[in-house]
Amino acid sequence: MLAQAVPSLKQVFETVQITLQTSAVKYQMQNGQTISLHPLATMDFDEANVGENAKILYNMILHQLGLLKEELDNYLIIVGGDQATVKKLHVLKKFIVACPHGYTWYGWVLPLIQLWHMGWADLKWVLSTHWGTSQANDLSMCHSTNVLLGRKVKDIKWLDYYPAQHLVFDTLQAEVLDCWK
């Protein structure tokens, strides 16, 4: 931010950009490295129901990916979703932990919240904490910044991800530059 906005630091901006795209990158895929993708079909199950999540796993793992029940003890399969889905999968595993069979025990499932959902929850938390009142006269609050910048972040309970992200990032950049002054 500083290298881009501060005139005396403009000379290092290109170096910073190159460093961020090369040596400072973590877990960068090597050139020529390939990965295998297995696109899955959509399913008409209610993921808000614990029992339906069992059907989703059954359909996804056995039917679509073609794995055998007997093989699953050899795997740890990451199943991503939003917070509610991950919670339902944890409940499913907890209730069936006493089952002696590997497949129905679901010990091979590792439920993880997907990064986008985690980011959305973080944005929601930041904005609900720092939104302020409906009056737009307190410039330290995000609601005032939203009005001042003419942004479209309307509902902090079900916010639109990208407008909210841009509001938070632009506010951060303004605060950093203000501190630099």
Residue 137: predicted pLDDT: 74
The H or E element containing residue 180 is: helix 161-180
Digit-coded pLDDT (tens) for 152-169:
887 667 788 899 999 999
Strand runs labelled E in 65-167: 77-81, 109-113
**What pLDDT digit, counting tens, does each position of 78-135 carry?**
998 888 899 999 988 888 876 666 556 788 899 999 998 899 889 989 988 888 876 6
Q: Residue 80's beta-bridge partner residues?
A: 112
The β-bridge partners of 45 are: none
Residue 112 forms beta bridges with which residues?
A: 80
Nearest to 155 by CA among 133, 126, 124, 115: 124
Delimit the domains of the chain by residue range: 50-113, 118-168
pLDDT tens-digit map of 37-50: 888 899 999 888 88
Please say whether the beta carbons of 141 and 148 come within 8 A: no
What's the rounded Cα separation, in Å, for the pair 102 and 24? Answer: 42
Residues sharing a CB contact under 8 Å with residue 45, sequence separation 6 or more, in sequence order: 52, 53, 55, 56, 59
